[in-house]
Structure 1
Amino acid sequence: MLEVLTLLSIAVVGTAVVWVGSTWLERAAADLAAAYGVPAVVHGAVIAAVGSSTPELVSVLLAAVRGEFELGVGAIVGSAVFNLLVIPGVAVVIGRGIETNRDLVYKESLFYMLAVATLLLTFSLSVIYYPGEAGGDLITGDVTRGLALIPLVLYALYLFTQYLDARESEGLPDANVHLARSWGVFLAGLVLIVIGVEGLVRSAIGLGRAFGTPAFLWGMTIVAAGSSLPDAFVSIAASQSGRPTVSIANVLGSNTFDLLVAIPAGVLVAGSLAITFAHVVPMMAFLVVATIVFFTISRTEMFLSHAEGWLLLVLYGGFVSWLVLESVGLTRLLPAAT
């Protein structure tokens, strides 16, 4: 019991450190974009997405280095579910509803759905063409660097479409930004994020061992929530300040980056990483369900109502409840750790 409380305390401290580091990094990234006159499309699709997704990216890299790649995948999937269900749900419930538009629904949302399908296809190809060895009846596969290029190519297409939509908008450099200070804050924020995520990953691995469950299950909760809370506060604040569509668009853009860049980055660093298909499919299936629900309610009258906001939060509550049942052994959709 004492060990579990210690691990949970590490997770809380790690979340706080990630929050501070993310705040510094995102603020510095915005200043640097203004200083260099970066076009809005590059700022939104690249700088802002990378800034808000840095905790998730670091979690995948650290998990890959530690030989716990599935923990990193779980953190990404859990973060994506959190972003899709909790951020818009809370923003709607405490606000006045969120108006959507056709660009958000038919471009951002549909491309995000394509990103989910592409990642699942990549995992499937690893099982088909690079089957691994595992005990029992578990089916495994090795995700190679060649397969990791598939989602990266799709993300390059995403950037290209964003560029085509906004290539006429050229930004002017802001001479009032202090470059040296902004770069210093950016690097300091990155260091804090690495330290905080290291604590989250350690706690997830420890909790997995303590409860005899797969470590990635805790990655889907502890690491995912810890790395997504900064995004949640930023997006909810944007919604409350009268920029709800921007808030939702940033959520979708960050999730697209996480799926198409963060996970392949772990593979590129490690060279080849193993996944257990029986672990990946249930969590990816829930992400598909969450994505479909979000797309459907975003499309209805192009407005997210209070009732729909509560629906998103209830669905996330069901997701967490399922993971709790898995952790105590009452359900076994996810095979036990060996």
Structure 2
Amino acid sequence: MAWAILAVALAVLTVGADLLVRGAARLAAAWGISPLIVGLTIVACGTSAPELVVSLHSTLSGQPDVALGNVVGSNIFNVLAILGASALIVPLRVADQFVRFDVPVMIALTAATLVLALDGRIGRIEGAALSLGLVGYLARAVWMSRRSPAGTDEDLAVPGPPRGSVAWSCLSVAAGLTLLVLGSRWFVSAAVDLARDFGVSELTIGLTVVAAGTSLPEAAASALAALRGERDIAVGNVVGSNIFNLLGVLGLSAALSGGGVAVSEAALRFDLPVMLGVAVVCLPICWTGQVVARWEGGLLLAYYVIYTGVLLVAATDPGRIAGPATLWGVAALTALPLLFAAVHAFRSRR
């Protein structure tokens, strides 16, 4: 029965993502907003709705490991698996504004989250501060959309729909978001039941099954956006979703919980540093020629396979990922993509 629910959930997610991308692209053209801004805001917040629902429910139900693992695992999955797979489908163009502002913001927020978690808990005041940061980020995105409308950049512009179709575009976005939330909830519910049958810990469930399940909307939306030529939406959705996860999902979960969100020692020693390393890797990969090439997408996917393998080892022997050796391993895995990106950038400029 659980496998049947998984199949139905995947079908619902695919349909929802298609409706969301189509509607968002049309609204971008109709309202004179760059598709990059749409990807960073409407699509990113919409596809992150499952993470918000799951993390809030987990926190209020006394499962902080699932809530934290969902956010951390989703951010890692978004960059390594979704961005990597989208780049394998088609090389992704990266706007200059994106490299100069949005990716550095994601890195800074990831580092700030790690610092806030050093005491073993992200408290309510810290969560409220993160939530206010989301308001500021979205306000800046709207302000930037007014300064750089879609019509000023031929590469970003999408042929505008007839005036009467704006209402249908809004309806398409709303229907897509609804299907994405429903599909992700069904997927997570069935997947968690299957994972628990194998005796996997709540943190591991949050980092893998729940994170991947709630990130399926981002995966479907980014993949379809790449296939339809909306490459800015594909890239913006990934980074925008990560920012929303840290500010909105983790922030609201901590602010609304009585004692904030507890951070386990395992997450603090391994998963949070990996999330920071992944965010840092994203910058040079996007910077090289302002294109995420297919080979870079393959590199990101390989990175995710390695990370998942470490988690599987940790599920059977948690002590094997604790200690300084783990941090050196994370640093080594981070340095490899950075080195490849630097060599690629040097060769492209010769």
Same fold (TM over 0.5): yes
Is 2:247 aligned against 1:252?
A: no
Question: Cα deviations across residues 139-175 of structure 1 (Å, max 9, x unaligned)?
Answer: x43x333121221232233223323423346799975
Is 2:265 aligned against 1:278?
A: yes
Structure 1 partner of 2:144: 165
Q: CA offset at residue 256 of structure 1?
A: 0.8
What residue ranges of structure 1 are gaps of 5+ in the alignment? 1-5, 128-139
Q: CA offset at residue 116 of structure 1?
A: 0.9
Equivalent residues of 2:89, 2:226 under 8 A apart: no
TM-score (normalizing by structure 1): 0.76
Q: Which residue among 119, 124, 139 is the counterpart of 1:145?
A: 124
Equivalent residues of 2:86, 2:234 under 8 A apart: no
Equivalent residues of 1:25, 1:189 under 8 A apart: yes
- Cα separation, 2, equivalents of 1:265 and 1:324: 30
Is 2:103 aligned against 1:109?
A: yes
1:226-241 matched pairs, under 5 angstroms: 226-241=213-228
**Distance of aligned partners of 1:46 and 1:90 in 2 relative to their CA distance in 1, 3 Å threshold:** closer
Q: CA offset at residue 257 of structure 1?
A: 0.8
**CA RMSD of the aligned region, Å?**
3.5
Give the secondary structure class of the aligned counterpart of 1:67: coil
Is 2:50 aligned against 1:55?
A: yes
Q: CA offset at residue 12 of structure 1?
A: 4.9
Question: Cα deviations across residues 214-242 of structure 1 (Å, max 9, x unaligned)?
Answer: 21211222122222233223223333333
Q: CA offset at residue 28 of structure 1?
A: 5.7
TM-score (normalizing by structure 2): 0.74
Greater helix proportion: 2
Structure 2 partner of 1:295: 283
Structure 1 partner of 2:254: 267
Structure 2 partner of 1:84: 79
Q: Which residue among 221, 227, 243 is the counterpart of 2:208?
A: 221
Q: CA offset at residue 44 of structure 1?
A: 4.4
Q: CA offset at residue 64 of structure 1?
A: 2.1
Q: CA offset at residue 260 of structure 1?
A: 0.8
- Cα separation, 2, equivalents of 1:94 and 1:30: 19
- Cα separation, 2, equivalents of 1:244 and 1:193: 20
Q: CA offset at residue 82 of structure 1?
A: 1.7
- Cα separation, 2, equivalents of 1:229 and 1:277: 25
Equivalent residues of 2:93, 2:232 under 8 A apart: yes
What residue ranges of structure 2 are gaps of 5+ in the alignment? 151-159, 324-350
